[in-house]
Structure 1
Amino acid sequence: MASTSTFSREALDQVLKRRFFFAPAFEIYGGVSGLYDYGPPGCALQANIIDTWRKHFILEEDMLEVDTTMLTPHEVLKTSGHVDKFADWMCRDLKTGEIFRADHLVEEVLEARLKGDRAARGVVEKAGDDEADKKRKKKVKEIKNVKLDDQEVKEYENILAQIDGFSGPQLGELMTKYNITNPATGGPLEQPMEFNLMFETAIGPSGQLKGYMRPETAQGQFLNFSKLLDFNNEKMPFASASIGKSFRNEISPRAGLLRVREFLMAEIEHYVDPEDKSHPRFDEVKHVKLRFLPKDVQESGSNKLRECTIGEAVESGMVDNQTLGYFVARIYLFLVKIGVNPDRLRFRQHLLNEMAHYAADCWDAELETSFGWIECVGCADRSAYDLSVHSARTNEKLVVRKALPSPVTVEKFEVSINRKKFGPSFRKDAKAVENALLNRTQCELEDLAAELKKEGKVSLNVEGLSEPAVITSELATIEKVTRTEHIREFTPNVIEPSFGIGRIIYSIFEHVFWSRPEDKDRCVLSLPPAVAPTKVLLVPLSSHADLSPIVKKVSAYLRKEQIPFKVDDSSASIGKRYARNDELGTPFGITIDFDSVKDASITLRERDSTKQVRGSLEDVVAAIKAVTYNDESWAEATKKLTPFEGQSGDA
């Protein structure tokens, strides 16, 4: 299996580039940062991961898949809050105009200073041999071997543990307090300012309908909620899912696929009764042991992980509810299945100041890479926010109606409008004012009722009106009424797992990449067979005419069994041919030699161990299918085959 030798990002980058997994887009024109093209193996790997995702989530959980448009009108994203709040904090060099993302800048500078302090204290660290990393770090002008005092070290470590939770003004205060300037020039920087990450566009030739390239796939799912509920025969709970491109105009794209401007997302919206967030299949996953970084640990300035089962995490209240916990565990099982190293996977809870005000709880699946811990999957309980705001904006009821087992008597505040006077009072704005009044929560109506009774009027801020609308007791009344109800009407809460496919793919590359101990230049990508771009390399021992019919026969059989394969009949040695495909992550090799002419047997090679076994075409292909598609071990799948010590698969 994988070597324990020091990881080299430079070696990995060379393999990914040489084998064209992905490459900068428009490269012959100089490229555009944050945009990448996938080559043949990258496309196949991505397709296989998506296929596994569909089977693991959509099919196994009986989800409803939708494909919604990437172009989104301004009004939709204004309602969802993206127009006003979907932003990162950037700061600009006052002299050069160079732009930095503020949280990344603070993080990079403080980490560099801590590294310099450790060097001054005689702490030896592993030297990275990644050329790109060296070039990036050369930009950070830090004085070597200058010690920080113990208080400064503690402060830096505490800040880094909470870096995701700082607001723009707080980042500005840190930059001032710790004298953080342009790392390359030492030049002063402006205070952080908000930068909206959405790509703006115009829909239609007139340019009057403003729109954006969607920053996520979620909004299209929410807007189709009523149709999906109807399709599901009004049954709750249920989930929708969507896979597609999203776009974010990143301030400073870096780290390859980890921070890009166009990327593939896979998102789930699981709709659940707010009064019952249990999950019927929770018992199936409650034993799954995970590594958590809860908010209280982060707030203490520590990154010490807490290990426990998801059942224990939910029971203790660390994870808010069963349905959220169920998906956290299912995310873990999916990531491990496609090649993530479980020892380099943690779930970090959002801090209070980074979590949306409406969210009940949120956990990120973070994967450890040479760039640090990278958020690859978010899993949030978004409460009823999204459906509520779209319902309020459009006056469409995005609700579930559920028959009660027996009638119940309820007391609630209701608005009664005097239409003879209301319409003439507000004229063309009457409908907008009415909607603003009717779409209030019970708590808000209770406050308005008290104010109306006391003052004889209330003032409402109405979107589109320059001044508050004044509603008197002659125009409307707000009173508590008692009703008997046979139907319960509620807005579902939403549990949202959201996957960044590109980030997951890159993290997997790092987790499965290694070099053979006997030769560091012989690199291997130990991709799980289920997601590997090609499953089999078919290798004739030579170009002799006697082998050609067998190559054709084996190719036809693999094609019939729908096993992706590639033939390499080049003049290179068999060892070199296998080495090339080890870099592509191809898990199996079939060698055809002159014994194959005599007895129709073939040799099967396993990528990681280079072990070889021999048998009939049918038995070899059955073993390949068992390992690739049925999760059988190599030892179990090859019981019928004979160990082979003849022609080395690595000669």
Structure 2
Amino acid sequence: MANLPVNKSAHPFDKARFETVLNRRFFYAPAFEIYGGVAGLYDYGPPGSSLQANIIAEWRKHFIVEEHMLEIDSTIMTPAPVFETSGHVARFADWMVKDAQTGDVLRADHLVKNVLEARLQGDKEARGQAAQPPPSEDDKKKKKKKEVKAAAVQLADEKVTEYETILAQLDNYSGPELGKLCRTHDIRNPDTGNEVTEPQQFNLMFTSSIGPTGQHPGYLRPETAQGHFLNFSRLLDFNNGRLPFASAQIGRSFRNEISPRAGLLRVREFTMAEIEHYVDPGDKSHARFGEVKEYELDLLDRHTQEAGSTQATRTTVGDAVARGVIANETLGYFLVRIAQFLLKIGVDPKRLRFRQHMQNEMAHYAADCWDADIHNSYGWTECVGCADRAAYDLTVHSNKTGHPLVVREALKESIVTERTVAEPNKKVMGKTFGKDFAAIAKVLEDLDEPSLEKLKADLEQGTGTVVGPDGRNFALTPEMLTIGRKTFKQSVREYTPNVIEPSFGLGRILYVLLEHNFWAREQDIERGVLSLPPVVAPTKVLIVPLSAKEDFQPLVREVSSKLRRAGVFSSVDDSNASIGRRYARNDELGTPFGVTIDFASIQKRTMTLRERDTTGQLIGDIDAVIALLVELVNGTASWAEACRRLPAYDGVQDVD
């Protein structure tokens, strides 16, 4: 019984049953449900909250601890000037369309995607290419929708190719181009069959105000990143002025999604985990790149997508960086670390790819960007973004505030240079130009060498002219300034660092993790199992006393106390249900291990140890089982090793 074979693919994934389990066991539920709920807002129940907390704990270990990052916690409420400067007020938007008859609002790219995918699915069904499982109750309800009613229609081969090409390039389309697609391909609201309006931009930030009179407009942050950048000087000082280094933050963010659907995959309030890794713009190598360069990833680059394909190519990160597919070593290093984290917490490696952003979809601040896409019942979903934000954010905030967000690095050897400079006679120019003097001096300071040489030649002829910031011409005479060659000695290099940003949507990761690990036992299709790795499972060990008699309580308390002291979260199920039923309930919750305390346990101080996926059981001394459990939960021992260390339990214990 210790190592029964597991066939997780014996039954196809049943989404309706999966969602029933999540709802019944309160992993999460619509917020404000008894008031009718609000789209895109969810509350996590006990298992969902524990799962999220465990994902976050592992994220901290994997990134903050292992990479020696500086963790911060910045505010959610943000004054409007911050997002005006960063570009979010002008650019943080999606394209929406409205039902021409009902006024219902739809996100334009999602509308195109859903309708074209439904038509392609219908084409497969019409051609007999898609063997479909029996429809669930959820599927039957969806049959009422227009896109499913009209689905089983065979398309011309060229139309299939055209649709597939559009879907491959969908993220690259602008708003007007999405509108043209709707008109060209007769894409309508699938719920009503009505035409839709031309796309319009909709800013996704929630507006608010700060102060009792609302005199300070503000926004709920759509990302945590700006809190990093505004504290850059303090972080640099904390790190003794040295680069590279990274800051990290986990916190709530808010996006006023146009039409939130797909459960946790598109919500209006969510938890993010973001890293800002600051690097020298002239050197984006990474000290640990050699450790990961042979790691293979499935990469879908922009050129493949622009050619109309979604076929990822498996390649080593070292090769991708060498060929310029991935922009630099630091970006490549973090792609690997992201993949390692996702696989460690239980994401199916066969359903993970990294997709490069195409030019038109690239964020306004990004020089290169890759998404960790994870496949699930809704298709491929972006769960992590990893962008090279260049020096955009630090530069715009520095320009706006006048606060230098720069690195000053002492040079090992001073650099001596000679260049042409203009030295104004402050007394003469100040008297001549008054309040305009400062602006003129700044113009002179910014002139390049050819312009200075021309101005010098003009002055030798009598007068020269410069153009002020407002377009006015100012006449200069030789007594106002001197232009000549000057030697400079530079012992400090000053530069604005670039930023590599991995950004994690933890709610999306949590959802796909649940999907990837849900299955049914071959002998009992109704018996759902969540094969969550112990590192993230909400409860690690279930303690099952065979009887509720008082004699069992001291031993139950002892086992529970020893596990808690060892840092292993456990729960006790002393209900009247059968042992099999009690274990089945906790298999649904993802509890990886269970121990049974029976009458022999009281007499012999032995107990059985059960593994969730195989249902195999071992037996041993209570303290030996607890010690082994600690190793299993911490990942320092495997179940195969446990089977070598303890004998299998045959279902019988002799009681004296």
Structure 1 length normalisation: TM-score?
Answer: 0.92
Kindly state the Cα deviation for residue 532 of structure 1 after the two structures are TM-superposed: 0.6
Name stretches of at least 5 consecutive residues in structure 1 with no aligned partner.
461-467
SS of 1:329's equivalent in the other structure is helix
Residues 4-403 of structure 1: pairs in structure 2 closer than 5 A: 4=9, 5-127=11-133, 129=135, 131-132=137-138, 135-136=141-142, 138-141=144-147, 143-403=150-410
Taking the aligned partners of 2:505 and 2:301, their CA distance within structure 1 comes to 22
Partner secondary structure for residue 505 of structure 1:
helix
Residue 464 (structure 1) aligns with: none
C-alpha separation in 1, matches of 2:206 and 2:164: 35
Measure the CA separation in 2 of the matches of 1:247 and 1:554: 43
Q: 3-state SS of the aligned residue for 2:520? A: strand
Q: 1:488 aligns with which of 489, 493, 499?
A: 493
1:469 CA drift (Å):
5.3
Deviation at 1:313, TM superposition (A): 1.4
Please give the alpha-carbon distance, in whole angstroms, between the structure 2 residues aligned to 1:588 and 1:319: 41
Letter matched to residue 222 of structure 2:
P
Secondary structure at the aligned position of 2:390 is classed as coil
Q: 1:422 to 1:173 in 2, by over 3 A?
A: farther
Given that 1:198 and 1:213 are in contact with CA atoms closer than 8 Å, whether structure 2 keeps it comes out as: yes
CA–CA separation in structure 2 for the residues paired with 1:203 and 1:511: 43
Cα deviation, residue 414, structure 1 = 7.1
The 5-angstrom pairing of residues 594-613 of structure 1 reads: 594-613=599-618
- For the residues of structure 2 that align with 1:538 and 1:246, how far apart are their CA atoms? 38
Pairwise CA distance, 1:8: 1.0
Instruction: Report the equivalent of 1:639.
Output: 644
SS in 1 for 2:242: coil
Say which SS state the counterpart of residue 603 (structure 1) adopts: strand
- Which protein has greater RCO, CA pairs closer than 8 Å, 6+ apart? 2
SS in 1 for 2:641: helix
Q: 1:564 aligns with which of 569, 577, 586?
A: 569
- Is contact 2:7–2:522 with CA below 8 Å preserved after alignment? no
Q: How much does 1:62 deviate?
A: 0.5
**Residue 456 in structure 1 maps to residue 465 in structure 2:** yes
Cα 1:446/1:291, change in 2 over 3 Å:
farther
What is the rounded CA distance, in whole Å, between the counterparts of 1:94 and 1:459 in structure 2?
51
Cα distance in 2, alignment partners of residues 477 and 593 from structure 1 = 98
- CA distances 1:235-283 after superposition (whole Å, capped 9, x unpaired): 1100000000000000000011000000000000000011111111111
Distance 1:587 1:341 in 2: 18
Give, in whole Å, the separation in 1 of the partners of 2:600 and 2:120. 62
Contact (CA 8 Å) 1:568, 1:577: kept in 2 or not?
A: yes
Bigger shift: 511-520 or 471-480? 471-480
Alpha carbons 1:381, 1:496 under 8 Å: kept: yes
Contact kept in structure 2, 1:112 and 1:140, CA below 8 Å: no
Q: Which runs of 5+ in 2 are unaligned?
A: 1-5, 459-463
- RMSD (CA atoms): 2.8
Q: Residue 505 of structure 2 is aligned with which of 500, 523, 539?
A: 500
| CA distance in 2: counterparts of 1:305 and 1:101, whole angstroms | 26
8 Å CA contact 2:118–2:151 kept in 1: the answer is no
Q: 1:246 to 1:80 in 2, by over 3 A?
A: same
Provide the secondary structure at the position in 1 that maps to 2:609: strand
Choose the corresponding residue for 2:550, options 545, 550, 570: 545
> SS in structure 2 opposite 1:613?
strand
Does the C-alpha gap of structure 1 residues 548 and 489 become closer, same or farther in structure 2, counting only changes over 3 Å?
Answer: same
Match of 2:3 in 1: none
Residue 380 of structure 1 deviates from its aligned partner by 0.8
Secondary structure at the counterpart of residue 48 of structure 2: helix
Q: Provide the secondary structure at the position in 1 that maps to 2:359.
A: coil
Q: Are the aligned partners of 1:411 and 1:481 in contact in 2 as well (CA < 8 Å)?
A: yes
Give the partner amino acid of 1:573: S
Contact 2:109 2:178 in 1 (8 A): yes
Distance 1:158 1:186 in 2: 24
CA contact (8 A) 1:623 1:638 kept: no
Work out the number of aligned pairs and report it: 636
What amino acid is aligned across from residue 126 of structure 1 in structure 2?
Answer: Q
Does 1:578 pair with 2:580? no
SS of alignment partner, residue 527 of structure 1 = coil
| More moved, 109-118 vs 591-600 | 109-118
8 Å CA contact retained: 2:421, 2:452: no
Structure 1 residues 434 and 614: alpha-carbon distance in aligned structure 2, compared to 1, 3 A threshold: farther
Q: Deviations over 1:313-371 (max 9, x none)?
A: 11222111111111000000000011101111000011111113542211100000000
Change in Cα spacing, 1:145 to 1:479, as seen in structure 2 (3 Å) is farther
CA distance in 2, matches of 1:624, 1:390: 51
What per-residue deviation string (whole Å, max 9, x for no partner) do you get for residues 600-635 of structure 1? 001110001111111112211111111211342112
2:535 to 515, 530, 545: 530
Provide TM-score, normalisation by structure 2: 0.91
Q: What one-letter code is carried by the residue in structure 1 that aligns with 2:494?
A: E
Partner residue of 2:474?
Answer: 472
C-alpha distance in 2 between matches for 1:476 and 1:48: 67
Q: Is residue 451–residue 457 contact of structure 1 (8 Å, CA) maintained in 2?
A: no
Superposed CA offset, 1:556-580 (max 9, x none) = 2222222111110000000000000
Residues 395 and 103 (structure 1), Cα distance of their counterparts in 2 relative to 1, 3 Å cut = same
Larger displacement relative to structure 2 (22-31 or 406-415): 406-415
Instruction: Report the more deviating stretch, 415-424 or 3-12.
Output: 415-424
Q: Do the aligned residues in 2 keep the contact of 1:364 with 1:376 (CA within 8 Å)?
A: yes
Q: What per-residue deviation string (whole Å, max 9, x for no partner) do you get for residues 147-181 of structure 1?
A: 32222211110010011111111111111111212
| 3-state SS in 1 of match to 2:360 | coil
The structure having more radius of gyration, on CA atoms, is: 2
Classify the secondary structure of the residue corresponding to 1:89: strand
Displacement of 1:418 after TM fit?
A: 7.6
- CA drift of 1:184 comes to 2.2
What's the CA shift for 1:137? Answer: 6.1
Question: How far did residue 588 of structure 1 move?
Answer: 0.5
